[in-house]
C-alpha cells in the first residue's frame, strides 16, 4: 500500500494532515456526527433562546438529546472541539457549544482541493 502526502500546499486555508486526521477521527463516531448535525440548528433544542445562539447550546441539553452520560457527552464534544469543528464557551459552571462554521468551510475547501 502506497502512502501519499495528500496536502499539496501549506497555508492557513488548508488543513494539515494532522488536522484532517483529527477531523476524520472525530467524525468516525455516529453520535459525534449527530451532535454536529444538531448544532447546525441550535434553536431546535428545547428552551433555547435567540440570544443563546451566539454562545451555543448547553452541554446538558446536548446530553439529554443524545441520551448519553455526561462524561461521554463531554468527551465527544471535546473531541469535536479539538478537531476544530465546534467552539466551546464557558459561562459560570456551564459549557456551551456551537459549530465553528469558518473552520468547517476551511475543511470543505481543503477536501475540494485535495480530493
pLDDT in tens, 30-55: 999 999 999 999 999 988 788 777 89
User: Which pTM does this prediction carry?
Assistant: 0.85
Q: Which residues contact 96 (CB under 8 A, 6 or more apart)?
A: 52, 55, 56, 57, 58, 59, 88, 89, 90
Task: Confirm whether 11 is domain-assigned.
Answer: no
* Number of domain units in the chain: 1
Checking if the pLDDT of 4 tops 50, the result is no
Task: Confirm whether 91 is domain-assigned.
Answer: yes
Q: 86 in helix, strand or coil?
A: strand
CATH code: domain of residue 101: 1.10.10.10
Instruction: Provide the residue range defining the domain that includes 89.
Output: 17-114
Amino acid at each position: 500500500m502506497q502512502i501519499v502526502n495528500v496536502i499539496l500546499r501549506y497555508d492557513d486555508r488548508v488543513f494539515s494532515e494532522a488536522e484532517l486526521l483529527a477531523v476524520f477521527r472525530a467524525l468516525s463516531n455516529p453520535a459525534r456526527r449527530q451532535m454536529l448535525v444538531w448544532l447546525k440548528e441550535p434553536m431546535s433544542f428545547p428552551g433555547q433562546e435567540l440570544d443563546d445562539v451566539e454562545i451555543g447550546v448547553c452541554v446538558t441539553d446536548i446530553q439529554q438529546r443524545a441520551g448519553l452520560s455526561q462524561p461521554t457527552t463531554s468527551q465527544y464534544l471535546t473531541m469535536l472541539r479539538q478537531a476544530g469543528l465546534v467552539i466551546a464557551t464557558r459561562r459560570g459552571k456551564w459549557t456551551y457549544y456551537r459549530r465553528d462554521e469558518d473552520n468547517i468551510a476551511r475543511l470543505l475547501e481543503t477536501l475540494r482541493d485535495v480530493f
